[in-house]
């Protein structure tokens, strides 16, 4: 069984600079991925959208993105 007790994550608001790394995740995870342009639009123009990226420990590249709308 995997021991998850020592996992440390850092979560930060997603920035336009993160879109390229998020696109790598998006393309690997979804058969109909969003485009980079869609993410950039959401980050700049959708006040109801909240995007975050999570990093494993001190990794420079995000391991996932999180999103919600309110």
Distances (CA, A) of 56 to 11, 60, 67: 9, 9, 18
Give per-residue pLDDT as tens, 11-55: 999 999 999 999 999 999 999 999 999 999 999 999 999 999 999
| DSSP 3-state of 63 | coil
- Could you tell me which of 8, 16, 62, 21 has the C-alpha nearest to residue 40? 16
pLDDT of residue 6: 77
The Cα–Cα gap between 27 and 35 comes to 9
Identify which has the larger pLDDT, 23 or 1: 23
The topology (CATH level 3) of 9-69 is Aminopeptidase (3.40.630)
Looking at residue 60, its pLDDT comes to 82
pLDDT for the residue numbered 23: 97
């Amino acid at each position: 069984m995997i021991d998850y007790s020592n996992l440390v994550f850092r979560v930060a608001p997603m920035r336009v600079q993160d879109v390229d790394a998020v696109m790598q995740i998006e393309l690997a995870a979804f058969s109909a991925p969003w485009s980079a342009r869609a993410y950039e639009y959401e980050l700049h123009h959708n006040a109801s959208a909240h995007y975050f990226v999570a990093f494993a420990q001190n990794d420079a590249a995000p391991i996932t993105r999180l999103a919600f709308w309110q």
